[in-house]
Amino acid sequence: MGDTLSKGKVGIFTYTLSNSDKEEIDSSGEEGPVPYLHGFDNLVTGLETEMEGKRAGDKLSVIVSPEEGYGVATNQKPVMVKRDVFPEDAELFPGLMLGAEDEQGQPMAVWIKHVEPDIIYVSTDHPLAGMELHYDVEIVDVRDATQEEIANGHPSGLEGTQEG
């Protein structure tokens, strides 16, 4: 029967992500199957929940609410940051995730919303925040995670042997 997806297993899958208008947003496409470590927040909650207990060969269509996806959009105005705050050679474009710190010095993620020559607009909203996500998924393989993968909280490639 093969392994089922549960905490500590690496799931390898192909996917297409669309919005509620059936417009494709992302897919595993030409890159082929992608691995993730089940139970370690490698995927949005709503998708990982539906993949629990699935096996190689299983296909599923999942609709994920914003609350179980990338969050509800706060609709706060983006914050303006001077361009010279960033390294001169940094390639900055809308949708790019950057590490930042909040007022308490805690790490947080921000996303670039808009780029102008001297000003970069950033937001704490993920680009897909507030969006209903439609996933079409096929599980290609399920394997045991290595101890290193569990310690790192993410898979080391399809076979568990990639560095990093």
pLDDT at 162: 75
The Cα 50–Cα 70 span in angstroms is 16
pLDDT at 164: 54
pLDDT tens column, 107-135: 888 999 999 999 999 999 999 999 999 99
The mean-pLDDT minimum among 55-64, 80-89, 138-147 falls in 80-89
pLDDT at 103: 84
Same domain, 55 and 92: no
Average pLDDT score, the chain: 92
Q: Is the pLDDT of residue 1 over 60?
A: no
Mean pLDDT of 140-147: 94
Same domain, 16 and 55: yes
Same domain, 105 and 31: no
Mean pLDDT of 45-67: 96
Please check whether residue 113 lies inside any domain of the structure: yes
Residue 15: domain span: 9-70+130-152
Token pair 């899958």: residue:
13
Number of independent structural domains in the chain? 2
Same domain, 17 and 52: yes
